[in-house]
Structure 1
Amino acid sequence: MKRSLLAHNALMAATFALVLSPAALAATPSQTPLTAPPPAVVAAASPGEEAPVAQQFTLANGMTLIVRPDRRAPTVAHMLWVRVGSMDEVDGTSGVAHALEHMMFKGTPDLKPGEFSRRVAALGGRDNAFTSRDATAYHQQVPSHQLEAMMRLEADRFARTQWADEEFVREIEVIKEERRQRTEESPRARMFEALNAMVFQANPYRRPIVGWMSDLDAMTPDDVREFYRRWYSPTNAAVVIAGDVDVAQVRALAEDIYGRIPARALPARKPREEPLQVGPRKLEFRAVADQALVALAWKAPRWTGEGDAGDGSQQDALALTVLSAVLDGYSGARLERALVQGSGAGGKRVADTAGASYGLMGRGPQLFLLSAVPARGVTPEMTTAALKSEIERIAREGVSEAELRRVKTQWTASEIYKLDSVFNQARELGSYWINGMPVDTGDRLMKLLQGVTAAQVQSVAQRYFSDEQLTTGVLVPEPGRRETATPAAAGNRPALRH
């Protein structure tokens, strides 16, 4: 599968949005988890002009404000990030973070359901939201002269959201339909959901972002309201603004508009550490499907932005990022050449598609994933062996300097193209904040990745891919199998918002 580096860029990640279904791990390029690093937040500047930089402030009530000026067009991206996602849920209420995201569009004391988006459209803008394991984010893009009006709308929603029980009853059916269409009607998505639940045992990443259907069936309006009261405090939120703005003016507006929202104490976040895996795990997921699918998942260290020079796990995280890009970071990378084009050992084409991904960063543990769809006549076992052999080859022989140069050159190019979107700039700044990182993380990360050596890449290939830490998922096609999912009749399906 040919994929650009931009297709791997975050939101994110990590792991990023609910709209990125688990099927994406093997099916859709633009929805595949991170293999390239998130582009650095670097401004494009005219010759002789110094590039503007992002600045971060703390408002009087503890809310964070991040502003990144970009004067190239009279538009602005406005994002409200809340550091709460599916990982903050408890068993029995899976999907509540995402349900709250939906309900945030259902009104305030002064706005009727759906009125928020109509007001944004009247300002000449567009809006949406997403939920991930780590965060929930609400975003708009409006003409820069409408920024103040946009801020007042979002601040009102954040502080005073409310809805009638009847609105929740209707909206939960939309969410169930979202789960049906994106998960239950896709054998690949269901296989990845089951694999994820096997990989993680104690960590809340094991639960699907959209929630288990039984939890959605049992969810109540008060479950969602309680989640809102617990987590939607200014001290747990950040406003990120990128575009045609003056930093001082935006700061004054934010203090006046957002800084007035009363702060509330946050509940303690208890550690939920994943126990050490002490042997291989394997899942065979049987479903009505046209083709098999193989996924190999290894737990890997996450990059926290600390220990740049001396911390071994931090250096390993950077090297694993480069390794994933060598395997699948550009057209004609190693997995495509060896498995799809058939240039590997034996010269046989063994897969229709093959890919690699690595999370790099997030609030919870990360995975290094290899996946492939076996070619006709090729067994999942053969495909699994071919995927492993590419890691083993790098462990034995290393990677060439030419490969490293190509990966790093493409990363540099992605920095330039990314800057065309103020939304991408705001999204990256927000994702760094969610992970507790400063606004210059992008610049620093890119410099660190440029310094990763071939020896470091070979070293992580030798140390992180034992069967002891491997979880394998195989989608086994059974054309005659009777599916148990009960999707809604096509004529009765509610429209999805995402």
Structure 2
Amino acid sequence: MVAVCALGATQVQAADGDITQYKLSNGLRLVVKEDHRAPTVAHMVWYKIGAIDEFNGTTGVSHALEHMMFKGTKKLKPGDFSKIVAGLGGQENAFTSRDYTAYFQQIQAKNLKRMMELEADRMHNLQVLPAEFKKEIQVVMEERRMRTEDQAQAKLYEAFLATAFEANPARRPVIGWMNDLEHMTASDVANWYHTWYEPNNAVVVVAGDVNPAQVKKWADETYGQIKAGTLPDRKPQVEPKQEGVRRVEVRAPAENPYVLIGFKVPKLEDVAKDRDPYALDVLAAVLDGYSGARLNKSLVQGTQEAVSVGASYDMTGRGPSLFYLEGTPAKGKTVDQLEKDLLAQVKKVADDGISEQELERVKSQLMAGQVYKRDSVFGQAMEIGQTLTLGFKVEDIDRMIDQMKTVTRAEVQDVAKRYFDTAQMTVGTLYPLPIDPNKKQAPAPSGMLH
């Protein structure tokens, strides 16, 4: 093992306080956000590895590895990690997405160094034991059954992505295809771990009642003892241009029909120069950002064509972005009509624009959401970790907000005109089959946590 020390610190002036950043000489990035309102801390380790990096044959390996990270190291037996955290009165979990895998603990500040020791240990010393893997992969497959195969809308969403994208790995489910899980081996997971779980592919975020210099010292003594690894090149996987509407149908037991529409739109690349992603984000909020937003007001409260409607767009990510419209038609109404109604609402913005009141309402909602998110140390750590892992800088968090404030009505109308051509549209439709009254229904998915 190699002893290294942290390089010089840099500080970023954030809207709600300073953030101190360090980079260890092994490449690990450490970010410390002070918040002394309570003697607690959120400690997170983010790895830039997720489903978007996987290959056919081993889809779901990032998520399977997340599970195995709790199953023992050279120092700890399976389950010891969680027992130690619980014994110290803390909470911990992990999540895997298309873009990253992250692990976290919420703990008393006095126990932070112990958490850093534990995470540094499993960053370098994980043991993927075949016997433990054989048991845990069954847990993962059951999770897939509960969250996807027994959930009609989740099945549609999975089929939708596999239709919307031909070449980009965004078409694959984060949890993996069942056939890949059935044939996955402990060696597959171990190889993935040794390939990607390196300090120079990780971001450690600490937010709470801490002193940055002390946190840096502890990082030197824990993460800093791990030698940097050689990471594989990430090859671009550019999606071919879509040249016509794509449709997919799923027929599964469900209470209601459902329609999901997606359009290929740009994502944020340059925080200062890009404008369309900000305008698209505002458009999504105008359509579905508050209780009186356009979709709900027009199609649920107004014409009563639907019992639920929605619009969403995520402008950040390592893969391609989609702008979503969705809805469940009211009794006696059809998904075909609701599809037309949803598209008509976007066309109305394209034709007539939005009001100044709508724009200001959305911007106020944006600011309120930021204040709420930053009210918790965990929310702050999440925001920082996600931003850095997706390739942006800490200071970009406030820059994005400042840019969003400058979006104009004309820009929102312009993106509504340019990006909602049917040549870029994918439509997924759920047609419900009768629900077996004797079959126990699985609970609805409740997030990514393992």
Q: TM-score range by the shorter chain?
A: over 0.9
Aligned to 1:20: none
Q: Secondary structure at the match of 1:259?
A: helix
Distance 2:251 2:87 in 1: 49
Read off the aligned partner of 2:161 and give its amino acid letter. N
Give the alignment partner of residue 139 of structure 2, picking from 165, 168, 174: 174
Unaligned 5+ runs, structure 2:
1-11, 443-447
Cα pair 2:354 2:413 within 8 Å, conserved: yes
Cα pair 1:55 1:439 within 8 Å, conserved: no
Deviation at 1:207, TM superposition (A): 0.5
Aligned to 1:324: 284
Q: Secondary structure at the match of 1:102?
A: helix
Aligned to 1:426: 381
Aligned to 1:147: 112
Taking a change above 3 Å as real, the CA distance of residues 443 and 480 of structure 1, as seen in their structure-2 partners, is closer
Question: TM-score if structure 2 supplies the norm length?
Answer: 0.93
Q: Secondary structure at the match of 2:308?
A: strand
Q: Secondary structure at the match of 1:127?
A: strand
Cα pair 2:94 2:449 within 8 Å, conserved: no
Deviation at 1:41, TM superposition (A): 9.7
Deviation at 1:419, TM superposition (A): 2.1
Aligned to 2:413: 458
Question: TM-score if structure 1 supplies the norm length?
Answer: 0.84
Aligned to 1:226: 191
Read off the aligned partner of 1:330 and give its amino acid letter. Y
Read off the aligned partner of 1:263 and give its amino acid letter. A
Question: Are 2:359 and 1:404 aligned?
Answer: yes
Give the alignment partner of residue 203 of structure 1, picking from 164, 168, 171: 168
Give the alignment partner of residue 336 of structure 1, picking from 273, 296, 311: 296
- Which runs of structure 1 show a deviation greater than 2 angstroms over 4 or more consecutive aligned residues? 40-43, 478-481, 487-490
Deviation at 1:163, TM superposition (A): 3.2
Cα pair 2:254 2:435 within 8 Å, conserved: no
Read off the aligned partner of 1:219 and give its amino acid letter. M
Cα pair 2:284 2:313 within 8 Å, conserved: yes
Aligned to 2:328: 373
Distance 2:245 2:234 in 1: 30
Question: Are 2:397 and 1:442 aligned?
Answer: yes
What is the 5 A alignment of 1:73-222? Answer: 73-222=38-187
Deviation at 1:288, TM superposition (A): 2.0
Distance 1:336 1:42 in 2: 35
Deviations, residues 356-410 of structure 1 (Å, cap 9, x unaligned)? 0001110010100000001111111110010000000000100000001111111
What is the 5 A alignment of 1:34-53? Answer: 51-53=16-18
Supply the RMSD in Å over aligned alpha carbons.
1.8
Distance 1:489 1:107 in 2: 33
Q: Secondary structure at the match of 1:129?
A: strand
Distance 2:440 2:173 in 1: 20
Deviation at 1:480, TM superposition (A): 8.3
Q: Secondary structure at the match of 1:286?
A: strand
Read off the aligned partner of 2:112 and give its amino acid letter. L
Taking a change above 3 Å as real, the CA distance of residues 305 and 426 of structure 1, as seen in their structure-2 partners, is farther
Cα pair 2:40 2:209 within 8 Å, conserved: yes
Count of matched residue pairs: 432
Aligned to 2:315: 360
Unaligned 5+ runs, structure 1:
1-39, 44-50, 343-347, 482-486, 491-495
Aligned to 2:265: 300
Give the alignment partner of residue 26 of structure 2, picking from 53, 61, 65: 61
Deviations, residues 243-291 of structure 1 (Å, cap 9, x unaligned)? 1111111112112211110111001111110000001111121122221
Distance 1:375 1:404 in 2: 29
Deviation at 1:300, TM superposition (A): 0.8
Aligned to 1:29: none
Aligned to 1:46: none
Cα pair 2:150 2:441 within 8 Å, conserved: no
Taking a change above 3 Å as real, the CA distance of residues 177 and 237 of structure 1, as seen in their structure-2 partners, is same
Identity of aligned residues (%): 50
Taking a change above 3 Å as real, the CA distance of residues 488 and 291 of structure 1, as seen in their structure-2 partners, is closer
Question: Are 2:228 and 1:268 aligned?
Answer: no
